[in-house]
Amino acid sequence: MITIKFNGLQEEVGHKPSLLQLIESKEINPKTVALVLNEQVVPRSRWAQIECQDSDKIDIFSAVAGG
């Protein structure tokens, strides 16, 4: 079991899910959000390859068009 901080809330996950699996487990459409892992923006194309690690800080933000 590992502990992560997701959008500011600490939680435990039973295995090391990929970032994509984590987002999908929360019923969030991955096409509508941006993801920051440990203060680094992660391209959506890499979410399936990156596993969550103990003490990771993961924040998601709604993607907004415009300027």
Domain range list for the chain: 2-62
Quick one: fold of 2-62? Ubiquitin-like (UB roll) (3.10.20)
- pLDDT band for position 15 (50/70/90)? confident
Residue 47, pLDDT score: 98
Q: Can you tell me whether residue 26 is helix, strand or coil? A: coil
Alpha-carbon Rg of the chain, whole angstroms? Answer: 12
DSSP state of 51: B
| Sign of the dihedral through C-alpha 11, 51, 46, 41 | positive
Report pTM.
0.89
- pLDDT band for position 66 (50/70/90)? low
Residue 67, pLDDT score: 58
- pLDDT band for position 65 (50/70/90)? low
Q: Give CA–CA dist 60/48, Å, rounded.
A: 15
9 and 62 in contact (C-beta within 8 Å)? no
